[in-house]
Structure 1
Amino acid sequence: MTDSEGLQQRRFECLLTAIDQIVIHLNGAGEVISVNAGSADWLKTDQMISRTFSALFSEDLAGDVSAQIDKAFETHEPQKLTLLMKPEHSFHWHELGLRLTQTWETKLVDVSDTELIWVAKNISQPAQQEQKVVKLSQRDPLTGAYNQRSLMTILKQSVAQAQRYDWVCSVLLIDIDHFSQVNDQYGLDTGDKVLQQFVEAMHAFQRTADFFARYADDRFVMFLPETNREQALLAAERVRKLAQEQCVVGPSGELEFTVSIGTASLRDSQDTPDSLLKRAEENLFIAKQSGTNRIEGDEV
């Protein structure tokens, strides 16, 4: 190696230390000459040297990587390839330290007739973070139920679809009876436990197509697609009994609670999510005024 080549090599190695991506130097035979792990601190770089690069990948990916290498030499242009790396399907990469599924955006460049540089950027983390943020924005942080904003989005879409295809649907507006007294008598922590246990029970109870959300402090809404008035009343009665069976352990002992429920079912093309919820609230008011632990529905 000449002095000039040695200087270039040192500059190249210095540059690599500032890059957080995986950078792999390959010879013309596709063998690994050197590796910079970047931010992938899990990667056992010393175990990669002199190994055939494409052979490190699972069978379904090895062909794509080999084609990427061949095309880079053939066209002398950068070759991009996105790879989904699953540890359970990538035995060699698992040996090299890969433990979590990652999505790599890779680029391969031929730097001479006998050398290539392969760069991989992990793009899965931003996507996972974005999904996490979206999920958090849709959920009530205390109970894990969907929030009112998510509910209204679903109601607008579902009611419009039901009207378009002449389907039926219903809503249950569920109120925990005497909840303010629970907070006053047993404390806010116990009140939170009541909400959380009720939501947990409802998640186990609901059908896959149902949508359950926290509507206000002690109120919840369950949207029931393809459910008419009579079916909604039956569902409401099951929810009432489910709540009555719950028992929350607080600092003063065991606490039981009940719910009152108002139901409303889609009537015609003039109905809206707001009108459905308004009727459900009116029916809930009747249930509360009639002694609580009751259900009330639309008049026939």
Structure 2
Amino acid sequence: MIITVTLNAAIDKSLSVPNFKVGRRHRTVEQRTMAGGKGVNIARTLKTLGRPVIATGFAGGPTGTRIVEQLTAESILNDFVRIREESRTNTAVYDPTTGTQTEINERGPGVSARELEIFRDKLLYLATGADMVVFAGSLPHGVEHDAYADLIRECRRRGVLTIIDTDGEPLRHAVRAEPDVMSPNVLEAEELVGHEFNDDEDRLIAVGEMVELGAREAIMTLPDGCVACVQEDGGRRRYRVTIAPREAVAAVGAGDAFLAGYVAARYAGSTPPDCLRFGVACGAESTQRLGAGLVEPREVERLLHEVDVRQVDTADVG
């Protein structure tokens, strides 16, 4: 079983608005409203790919009820802790004429220490039957930056593989808890290691630096694929994985689809290169759909042969 943790779940509204301009009145040509938040998006993709998954986190007020109802309607197993304050609603506007996207993410609810303790007990109960736990997304207001780190340590003590996808101080603390895998994007990785990356060599060096900070493996997602430093055959290997650029319908959530694909392949026992290949194919396929976490498995399989996986010798990256 795979558990996805979304402590700041949301209702996500995705709007397609041609020729979008700030300050003007517009009409949508397509729209979609779904339960969201990074962990929820990952659970949706895992469900589509046929992996056993349960989504958990916080849900509050009528919006929280709607999140749970939508997940249930999608046949995604879920077990959320109800909280007093209202869950958030996020809005993404896609302009198909320019390919640009604008995101407005609400701050989200406050969570009390007691509510966090209830969640901790629930997660550890669920983890007794789990193989992997994916912690993904921002922390709600009122939750300390080290919350993910504490939960990762608890899960690791129980022998459960842990994966983290967040940013800022929560990521900095989480890495020190030695998760099995971390998966930031470029901006999140630059903030973590403290410098910008100019090219692939810089990025390949950076994933090694991220491993030195505490994570066993590090994957940095990019618009055209990823770079990774992974454990393989008793040592560390670095990979650059690419796929040819494609015109996107919407790119929001592509990183979530990538991570879900990677987790799905790892759960099935695939090799590290094949896990990365499958993740990149899922991320690329998801850009063809309005709404996060949506993929078509047959299209993912078709894309696999377009993904190039190249092992990079450590001597080539300093």
Structure 1-normalised TM-score? 0.19
Structure 2-normalised TM-score? 0.18
Rg larger in 1 or in 2? 1
Structure of greater relative contact order (alpha carbons < 8 Å, 6+ residues apart): 2
